[in-house]
Amino acid sequence: MSNPWIAIGALAVVALAIPLTMMAVSSLLRPSVPEQGKRTTYESGEVPTGSSRQIKFNIQYYMVALLFVVFDIETVFIFPWTVIYSDAVAEVEMTTALLPMVVFIAILAIGLGWAWRNGAVQWVRSPRATKGADTYE
């Protein structure tokens, strides 16, 4: 009789060994050319000003990310419902199967309308980008 914990331990060792080996090999093989362009903050697309503790990001990045997460989770809830919809209609009447999803989508539509009305989905251009766009006219 073999102990099932041996298999779990072996899986844990492999799960740790593979990423650590990949990181070690990539650190040995990659070229190391330090330059100023590689050290700048580029994730947001904004040119950093001041120290790293005083960088001010546009709140719109966070608003778009939050809205993406909300509507991404919406698809996680809608997809399984669409898979079982025909089976649910066979078990109960159509309004009983359809009403919860209609209410769910209506709540999300009201939330999207509110966010749209308050300008959460409108991309705001920075003064720098507006000034730069004027020079190309």
Query: What percent of the chain clears pLDDT 90, i.e. is strictly above it?
Result: 17
Residue 14 lies in a domain: no
Which domain covers residue 117, as residue numbers?
53-125
Residue 37 lies in a domain: no
Question: What would the two tokens of residue 122 be?
Answer: 């409108």
Give the mean pLDDT of 51-73: 75
Residue 60 lies in a domain: yes
Q: What is the pTM of this model?
A: 0.46
Tell me the pLDDT band of 1, cut-offs 50, 70 and 90. Answer: low
Residue 26 lies in a domain: no
Say how many domains are in the chain: 1
Q: At what angle do helices 59-91 and 94-117 cross, to 10 degrees?
A: 170
